[in-house]
């Protein structure tokens, strides 16, 4: 009997252990520990608020631009899949989101990876709720080629509704930058309207990383 118990224990010990989700933004718990505001032009107000009975991160921008940034070294080997949800009051109306004057979005989630080489600048992907660019479109940020924009939502069809997303970050970095990325150095959310001088409001749910089969 003892041998059987030991055999079963050894069998389970040999099975691969699935990595538990890593929560980066625990907004539902009212936790903003480690998240810092970074101003660019004007200010976006970020605060914990209630929406549909759940605590979320509320962002309100009146022709301003600041992000909420979590600086943290994050290993993607076991958890490469980013999950988040958000809701916007309305997407911004700009003529062309691919130029500097139109680089405003009601909701963005950034993931930042280290650059290659000792003094290389970081690279980043910005997932956005676009006003006009179609879902699936990607383009270089008009201010820097080290950031690639990806439209995961577009237009007004789902404005006012919660929308959820899953992105394999290693696959996206490989596709957009031709690089293997094994770690992040930060994550950010941003609601901005400084270029178009409009008003933007958005709500962000928890942000987490999961295993591919999680």
| Residue 9 vs residue 29, higher pLDDT | 29
The mean predicted confidence, pLDDT, of the chain is 92
Residue 214: pLDDT band (50, 70, 90) is low
Taking residues 147-168, report their average pLDDT.
Answer: 98
Other C-beta atoms within 10 Å of 126: how many?
20
Report how far residue 111's alpha carbon sits from residue 126's, in angstroms, rounded to the nearest whole number. 7
Q: What confidence tens digit (pLDDT) does each residue in 113-139 have?
A: 999 877 789 999 999 999 999 999 999
pLDDT value of position 12: 43
Residue 25 above 50 pLDDT? yes
Among 39-48, 75-84, 106-115, 140-149, name the one with the lowest average pLDDT. Answer: 39-48
Task: Find where tokens 């959310």 sit.
Answer: 189
Residue 4 above 60 pLDDT? no
Residue 181 above 80 pLDDT? yes
All domains in the chain, ordered by first residue: 19-210 (2.60.120.260)
**Residue 40 backbone phi and psi in degrees, to 5:** -115, -55
pLDDT value of position 10: 45
What's the pTM?
0.90
């Amino acid at each position: 009997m003892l041998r059987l118990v030991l055999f079963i224990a050894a069998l389970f010990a040999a099975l691969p252990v699935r990595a538990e989700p890593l929560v980066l933004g625990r907004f539902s718990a009212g936790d903003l520990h480690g998240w810092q505001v970074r101003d660019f032009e004007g200010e976006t107000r970020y605060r914990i608020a209630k929406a549909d009975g759940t605590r979320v991160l509320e962002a309100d921008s009146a022709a301003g631009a600041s992000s909420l940034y979590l600086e943290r070294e994050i290993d993607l080997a076991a958890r490469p899949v980013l999950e988040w949800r958000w809701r916007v009051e309305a997407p911004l109306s700009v003529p062309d989101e691919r130029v500097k004057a139109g680089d405003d979005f009601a909701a963005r989630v950034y993931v930042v990876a280290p650059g290659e080489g000792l003094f290389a600048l970081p690279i980043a992907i910005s997932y956005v709720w676009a006003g006009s660019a179609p879902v699936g479109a990607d383009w270089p940020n008009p201010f820097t080629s080290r950031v690639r924009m990806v439209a995961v939502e577009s237009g007004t069809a789902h404005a006012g509704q919660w929308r959820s997303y899953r992105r394999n970050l290693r696959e996206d970095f490989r596709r957009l930058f031709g690089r293997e990325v094994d770690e992040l150095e930060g994550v950010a959310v941003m609601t901005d309207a400084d270029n178009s001088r409009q008003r933007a409001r958005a709500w962000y749910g928890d942000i987490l990383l999961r295993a591919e089969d999680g």
